[in-house]
Amino acid sequence: MAEAEARAGALVAEDVHKRYGDTVALDGVSLSIPEGEVFGLVGPNGAGKTTLVRALTGTTRCDGVITVLGAAPGAVDAHRVGLLPQSFHPADRLTARELIAYYAGLYDEGRPVDDVLADVGLADDADTWYENLSGGQRRRACVGTALVNDPDVLFLDEPTTGIDPAGRRSLWSLVDDLAAGGTTVLLTSHSMTEVERLADRVGLLRSGSLVAVGTPDELIAEHGGDSHLLVDGAGVESDAVAAALDAEVGERDGRLVVRDVALADVGRVVADLEAAGVDFDSFTWAEPGLEDVYLRLTGEAMTDVEGRSR
Amino acid sequence: MSRRRRIRSCFTAAFRAFVRRKTAVFFTFFFPVLIILIFGALVQTQPTGGGLFAREPAYYIPGYLAVVVVFTPLSRVGSTIARHRDGNRFEKLATTPLRRWEWLLAHTLVNVAVIGLAALLLFVLVLLVTGANVVVGPGLLALAPLVVAGVALFCGLGAIIGRVADSQDGVIAASNAVAFPVWVLSETFVPPSMLPAWFRSVTALSPLTYFSRGVRAATAGGDPTGALLVLAALATGVFVAGAVAVPKTE
């Protein structure tokens, strides 16, 4: 049975559609996630990430075929599935320990509460009411509620929202451990660093469609573009930089972007800028990452010199 | 065993979450006490001509008990459902082994515990403040199942209101709109003889009428069995409908 599940994919969606009135939330999404894989789902707000999680967990009705561990979402053994919903707000006057104990008590063999608290880094604040925990601690308590049954398939919808960097890294290492133990994880996130760090494969949703799926390296190679130089400076004008370098110059987050600059060429480029009298404050050289893929494929937050959306 | 474990876990969490809301706990007990002080001590029953009420004090015992049996579960279960929905808790629970009826049963048991205590307090207060005469006998024991059945019924109705209303404010408004006429017109405060003849058949449709008849029979030395059976049957039906109404999907 487990072998068959692994072959078929722990999570399979075929041509899944979902509409809210006139709004298309999912538009023919198909994907297969094998057992033990960490799959990262990214996309802009409203792209359909949460709807897809809901479709896969059977908490929303949709058209298409979905199987979780070989069964329809509504028929799968609930003991084998864990979910952290987006914007999850449990009872605020339970302590973290009571909250974990509550959800653990819903399963035949819930994990020891102290183990779960230790996993999410709340052992020292276990007896604090949820409403008195910090935002990051609350989110960690919520993550804990998804781990109480040691699930085979784990859905984490934006698990690290509001968590500080240290807490985020500790959750990342927890996800690593779960994946190493064979847990299939589907996580959504707005942090490309997180997805690049955790996911074996990444799916990019845009307007309800899965526009790209692959390993982070594959996606970066295919869609990430070239290495580039980011130039900072209050008075720096893109035309001056373009003329000095005879290159295409774009703009991102108030900084100028010079594309296709190899690391070995950085010295020459800086010398050219200085020779042309471009008064820049600092520069950063960067290789393309998943964020570049995201920006390129979603068309968000970046325009080049021609003013086209990228 | 695992079902009992789930219900116990849900009950424990819901009970703790409730008793830690001090304001909610205070008014759950204070509101009915206020009603008794207003109607029982200030307005009073004066069959000779004065006062608002025309019947002997014991006649109004079901009405006083109904304050907690009707209002509290309706608004509590309804607003709990609204809170669960706002916090995506049902989305989470839908992926656990907990069934909807188990969730409603756990919350009903919390209400039974809280309202049972409040009803006991009310009953003693009514006897002390209004001087109502009660026939002490085995029939009085029927008060417990009558309160339990009444609470279960209105918890089920509260679940339906919680499903239909789209916010906590909406739940409170809707539950008050349902509870008040039911509370007043179910042979509690207004004797059937004071109502138009055509309205008596409407009164017979109210489940609280059977609670009133049962409590009145239990406290007056009569036989509450018939009323209790009708109330229990209605409670079962409304509870099942309420369990179906508990949200499962977004």
* DSSP codes of every residue in A152-174: SEEEEESTTTT--HHHHHHHHHH
Q: Specify if B57 maps to a domain.
A: yes
What residue has token string 């040691």? A150
Residue B174, pLDDT score:
93
Residue A305, pLDDT score:
32
Residue B53, pLDDT score:
67
Residue A301, pLDDT score:
46
Going by pLDDT thresholds of 50, 70 and 90, the confidence category of residue A267 is confident
> What is the percentage of chain A residues whose pLDDT exceeds 70?
94
Q: CB–CB of A62/A13 below 8 Å?
A: no
A244's tokens: 């000095």
Q: Specify if B75 maps to a domain.
A: yes
For the cut 60, the answer to whether the pLDDT of residue A309 exceeds it is no
Cα distance between residue B211 and residue A199, in whole Å: 60
Q: CB–CB of A142/A90 below 8 Å?
A: yes
Q: Specify if B236 maps to a domain.
A: yes
Q: CB–CB of B113/B15 below 8 Å?
A: yes
Residue B52 is given by DSSP the state S
> What is the percentage of chain A residues whose pLDDT exceeds 90?
59
Structural domain range at position B127: 2-245
Query: Which residue spans of chain A are classified as CATH 3.40.50.300?
Result: 2-214
Query: Which residue spans of chain A are classified as CATH 3.30.70.980?
Result: 225-298
B93 CB neighbours in chain A (<8 A) are: 106
Check the CA dihedral B46-B48-B52-B55 and report its sign: positive
- Give pLDDT tens digits for B182-195: 988 899 888 888 88
Cα distance between residue A241 and residue A248, in whole Å: 9
Three-state secondary structure call for residue A86: coil
Chain A residues contacting B via beta carbons under 8 Å: 54, 57-61, 78-79, 81-91, 93-94, 98-99, 101-108, 129, 145, 149, 155
pLDDT under 70: residue ranges of chain B: 1, 43-53, 250
Q: How many domains does chain B have?
A: 1
For the cut 50, the answer to whether the pLDDT of residue A101 exceeds it is yes
The C-alpha of B157 sits at a distance from chain A's nearest C-alpha, in angstroms, of 22
Question: Which chain B residue lies closest to A93 (C-alpha atoms)?
Answer: B17
- The angle formed by the CA atoms of residues A171, A172 and A174, to the nearest 5 degrees, is 60
User: pTM of the entire structure?
Assistant: 0.86
Instruction: Inspect the interface and report whether the beta carbons of A106 and B10 lie closer than 8 Å.
Output: yes
Q: Specify if B36 maps to a domain.
A: yes
Which of B22, B96, B98 to mutate to test binding with chain A, by most A CBs within 10 Å of its CB?
B96
Instruction: Inspect the interface and report whether the beta carbons of B13 and A88 lie closer than 8 Å.
Output: no
What integer best gives the mean pLDDT of chain A?
Answer: 88
Q: Specify if B177 maps to a domain.
A: yes
Least trusted range by pLDDT, from A111-120, A217-226, B80-89, B140-149: A217-226
B9: nearest CB among A86, A91, A105: A105
Q: Which CATH class is domain A2-214?
A: alpha beta
Residue B226, pLDDT score:
96
Question: Which chain A residue lies closest to B91 (C-alpha atoms)?
Answer: A59
Cα distance between residue A85 and residue A142, in whole Å: 9
Could you give phi then psi for residue A229, rounded to 5 degrees? Answer: -115, 130
Cα distance between residue B93 and residue A146, in whole Å: 11
Residue B8, pLDDT score:
97
Q: Specify if B250 maps to a domain.
A: no
CATH of domain A225-298: 3.30.70.980
Q: Specify if B56 maps to a domain.
A: yes
- Give pLDDT tens digits for B78-114: 999 999 999 999 999 999 999 999 999 999 999 999 9
